[in-house]
Amino acid sequence: MANGFAGKILILHLDKETYETVPTSKYEEWIGGHGMAAALFWDYCEDKTITDPADPKNVCVLATSPIAGTPTPSGGGRAEMVAVGTQGYPTPWFTRSNMGGRFGPMMKHAGYDAFVLLGQAKRKVWISVVNDRVTFNDAESLWGLDTQETQEALMPQMVHDYHAGDWNTIASGWRDAGKTTQRPAILTTGPNPENYGPLSSLVSDMAHVIGQGGFGGVWAAKNLKAIGFLGTKSIEIADPQAMMDARLWAQQYTWGGHADNPNKYIGMQDISSPPGNSTRFYGTGVSSRPYGCVGCVRACRGRTSNYYGNEAMCIGFHWFTPQDKAAHDGVITENTAKAATLLNRVGMNANSFMPITFWLMRLYEKGLIGPGKEIESNLPFEKMGTIEFANALISSIVNLADIGADLALGLQPCAEKWGRWEEDSSTGMLPVLQYSYGHHYDPRTSADWGFASILTDRDINSHDLDFPCYWTPSQNYAQGREPDVSAARLAEIMGKKLVPFCDPEMIDYSDEGIYKKPCAKAVAWTIYYNRSWKNTVGLCDWAWTDLVNPYGKDFEGMTPDGEPKFLNACTGWNKSFEDVIWLGKKVYDLDRAIWQLQGRTREVEIFSDYVYDQPQNPKVPQTSYEIAYCLPTYNEETHEWAYKDVSGRQLDREKTEELKSHFYRAWVRSR
């Protein structure tokens, strides 16, 4: 039956170098992505109390969904990975990450919706999957190669007489199914990833990354270098006409549907954003073009004429920007793009390197690091902001040399070893928010983002409320103008679209509002939407949700009507938006069950001290991109909504615990 699924799950026994398959239908109730992966982890992990990522009993799963490889806009390229990761500290939690690009779709074209890694290989291996042919291969000679070198070495090995960009024969005796112009899709670690597990990532192509979680270290512990897929099978969906109708309906909400007369809306947009990204500077005289993942209509990434910065975006592109700007009078140079490519080639997580960048800058400014200093180092700190320094820093970590041997332990363990953790985590000098994960958005202002992060396993990395509530009003006020959508109108929109809670006060970011029950609802909604429509169904965070849209009637976007149109067209189901949201709660329940077995209690669900001890100060940035936080607030006395700059506040410990109690009670009692 055509339902968007490939139909099989690949179970890889690394210790025996054997494999088997199980039918996807056994796990279809979890849809795919995180839901399916977490369910597979639960079934195949013999000891769910483990907190050692290197334990051979640790199970690593990657799963796609029924929309992967289909024309679902900004949803056809996603895949989700789970395992006990190496990044979390002091407890390495069961955690997750995901990626876009073409790896997940190619896995489905080979015939698989997910793969499960069991045990530990007795030798260093890489795995080739070409349709139904699965082989385990020696990886000893690959272990020290970077991500690009590895992929270039493996593609010709997966296809005999390989010709890039031309027809390749992958099976004899077949006319169509035996030939393809597609390149193998390969997911790989960087060089010697066992050296820097907490900072490690997995990379496909140039910059499609399984970033947070330290999954490169998980693969290194399993003696796995890479896995590649190449397939020629079709991905059949239930209702192609419904898919095309949904695409045409969605076109009216996209920039492409209005390319001849685009809206001059100011603010961060979801699926309505124009292609490319104007914040990326690749270098003087360097040309670039937009590039997108499979099925994407936003195309937020870029391809450049000089190779540097290819496919990188967001923090993955800008991790070096603070040093670059500091060394060049506030101007971003080509060093930012070069550093982005350098980091992806070694398979390291940019979300960890942003706080490292700020921390090292501040330590150097205070005279605390360098030859003969409190922290001994011979790295060329006088050249910070140059590609020479970026290369020296990254090389020191890969090779466990100089301070790199300590940084490779992870952010908090390194600070503890240097005797800096207590001071630097209370002042914010080291911007680490929770569980040794770096500061992304500030919980003192964007409270829902922060609370959702400590109540899960890592930085939530969810822009659902962030784009319309923080970025859009803040960008407008930074330019001296009123936002196109007033705070009152924004509250009306959210009151309609944040199904099933539909409470406009969920976006009250006032000093009082961030501790009230509606904020707890916002946190729950953020977690459930992410665990369902994003992490499980596979919609991209940079396009969905579509809550506010300049091309929609009265600025209303496609959510909650759009998401089910595409899922149901693929599967033939009749699921509502709310049905899938509640599945997200079920997936979150499963995650919390695993964390509970690992020893999780509410006492560990806290922020670093600086969040409580220091007022948020936009003039002392914790990232390269934050600006003054202008957010919607509600005045209970006047019953009026207004945007207000809430910068300068800090969280109250007791009230934060009250907010957590609101959340726990609502979570336990909800459907």
Rounded-to-integer distance, Cα 628 and Cα 516, Å: 23
Instruction: Tell me: do 376 and 456 sit in the same domain.
Output: no
**242 falls within a domain:** no
Instruction: Tell me: do 371 and 512 sit in the same domain.
Output: no
Neighbours of 388 (CB within 10 A): 12
**Which of 198, 230, 262 is the last residue before a domain boundary?**
230
pLDDT at 175: 56
Rounded-to-integer distance, Cα 28 and Cα 400, Å: 44
Neighbours of 372 (CB within 10 A): 6
Structural domain count, the chain: 3
> Token digits for 440?
């992304």
Residue by residue, DSSP assigns 406-449 as HHTT-HHHHHHHTT-HHHHHHHSSS-EEETTEEP-S-TTTSHHH
Read off the amino acid at residue 450: G
- Is residue 536 within 8 Å of residue 36, measured between CB atoms? yes
Query: Looking at the chain, how many residues does it have?
Result: 671
Instruction: Tell me: do 584 and 638 sit in the same domain.
Output: yes
Neighbours of 48 (CB within 10 A): 17
**1 falls within a domain:** no
CATH number at residue 75: 3.60.9.10
pLDDT at 670: 67
- Is residue 47 within 8 Å of residue 57, measured between CB atoms? yes
pLDDT at 8: 98
pLDDT, tens digit (0-9, with 9 covering 90-100), for 47-56: 999 999 999 9
Instruction: Tell me: do 82 and 18 sit in the same domain.
Output: yes
Rounded-to-integer distance, Cα 579 and Cα 512, Å: 32
**262 falls within a domain:** no
Token look-up 């035996």 returns 178
> Token digits for 411?
């952010």
pLDDT, tens digit (0-9, with 9 covering 90-100), for 597-630: 999 999 999 999 999 999 998 888 777 677 889 9
CATH number at residue 541: 1.10.599
Bridge partners (DSSP) listed for residue 20: 11
Instruction: Tell me: do 224 and 278 sit in the same domain.
Output: no
Residues of the chain with pLDDT > 90, as a percent, come to: 87
Helices 147-158/334-346 angle, 10° precision: 50
pLDDT at 622: 79
Q: What would the mean pLDDT of 573-581 be, rounded to a whole number? A: 98
Handedness of CA 424, 426, 429, 432 (dihedral sign): positive
Looking only at the bridges linking them, the beta strands covering 437-438 and 630-635 are unpaired
Residues of the chain with pLDDT > 70, as a percent, come to: 98
**653 falls within a domain:** yes
Q: What would the mean pLDDT of 509-537 be, rounded to a whole number? A: 97
**580 falls within a domain:** yes
Token look-up 């793009």 returns 337
For residue 177, pLDDT beyond 70: no
666: confidence class by pLDDT, cuts 50, 70, 90: confident
Instruction: Tell me: do 385 and 442 sit in the same domain.
Output: no
Read off the amino acid at residue 269: Q
pLDDT at 460: 96
Rounded-to-integer distance, Cα 125 and Cα 384, Å: 38
Q: What would the mean pLDDT of 551-558 be, rounded to a whole number? A: 97
Handedness of CA 17, 349, 298, 565 (dihedral sign): positive
Read off the amino acid at residue 61: V
**521 falls within a domain:** yes
Kindly report the backbone phi and psi dihedral angles of residue 181, in degrees, each rounded to the nearest multiple of 5, phi listed first: -95, -5
Neighbours of 478 (CB within 10 A): 12
pLDDT at 625: 76
Instruction: Tell me: do 86 and 119 sit in the same domain.
Output: yes
Q: What would the mean pLDDT of 70-88 be, rounded to a whole number? A: 97
For residue 557, pLDDT beyond 80: yes
Q: What would the mean pLDDT of 142-166 be, rounded to a whole number? A: 91
pLDDT at 279: 63
What three-state secondary structure class fits 241?
Answer: helix
Residue by residue, DSSP assigns 246-269 as HHHHHHTTSGGGGTTS-----S--
pLDDT at 164: 78
> Token digits for 659?
């907010």
Residue by residue, DSSP assigns 191-221 as SSGGGSGGGB-EEETTTEEE-TT-HHHHHHH
- Torsion angle defined by CA atoms of residues 534, 608, 591 and 316, in that order, rounded to the nearest 10 degrees: 40
> Token digits for 418?
């240097």
Q: What would the mean pLDDT of 621-649 be, rounded to a whole number? A: 91
Nearest to 24 by CA among 41, 37, 6: 6
Rounded-to-integer distance, Cα 368 and Cα 379, Å: 13
For residue 184, pLDDT beyond 70: yes
Rounded-to-integer distance, Cα 429 and Cα 368, Å: 12
Residue by residue, DSSP assigns 558-581 as STTTHHHHHHHHHH-----HHHHH
Instruction: Tell me: do 601 and 471 sit in the same domain.
Output: yes
Looking only at the bridges linking them, the beta strands covering 224-230 and 125-130 are parallel
pLDDT at 269: 85
- Torsion angle defined by CA atoms of residues 173, 176, 180 and 181, in that order, rounded to the nearest 10 degrees: 130
Q: What would the mean pLDDT of 410-428 be, rounded to a whole number? A: 97
For residue 411, pLDDT beyond 60: yes
CATH number at residue 316: 1.10.569.10
Q: Distance of CA 159 to CAs 156, 225, 232, Å?
A: 5, 19, 13
Nearest to 101 by CA among 540, 422, 587: 540
**Which of 409, 430, 451 is the last residue before a domain boundary?**
430
**493 falls within a domain:** yes
Instruction: Tell me: do 389 and 470 sit in the same domain.
Output: no
166: confidence class by pLDDT, cuts 50, 70, 90: confident
What three-state secondary structure class fits 7?
Answer: coil
**Which of 392, 410, 430 is the last residue before a domain boundary?**
430
Read off the amino acid at residue 601: T
Q: What is the 3-state secondary structure (H, E, C) of 19-82?
A: EEEEEHHHHHHHCCHHHHHHHHHHHHCCCCCCCCCCCCCCCEEEECCCCCCCCCCCCCCCEEEE
What three-state secondary structure class fits 10?
Answer: strand
pLDDT, tens digit (0-9, with 9 covering 90-100), for 371-395: 999 999 999 999 999 999 999 999 9
Bridge partners (DSSP) listed for residue 81: 62, 97
Domain that holds residue 318: 271-430
Instruction: Tell me: do 377 and 407 sit in the same domain.
Output: yes
- Is residue 107 within 8 Å of residue 128, measured between CB atoms? no
Instruction: Tell me: do 485 and 388 sit in the same domain.
Output: no
Token look-up 């103008």 returns 481
pLDDT at 630: 96
Helices 577-598/33-44 angle, 10° precision: 30
Instruction: Tell me: do 475 and 548 sit in the same domain.
Output: yes
* Mean pLDDT, the chain, integer: 94
Q: What would the mean pLDDT of 571-592 be, rounded to a whole number? A: 98
Token look-up 């398979």 returns 347
Burial degree of 22 (CB within 10 A; 0-12, 13-18, 19+): middle
pLDDT, tens digit (0-9, with 9 covering 90-100), for 271-324: 999 888 666 788 888 988 999 999 898 899 999 999 999 999 888 999 999 999
Kindly report the backbone phi and psi dihedral angles of residue 126, in degrees, each rounded to the nearest multiple of 5, phi listed first: -130, 155
**265 falls within a domain:** no
What separation, in Å, do the N-terminal and C-terminal C-alpha atoms of the chain show?
31
Whole-prediction pTM? 0.97
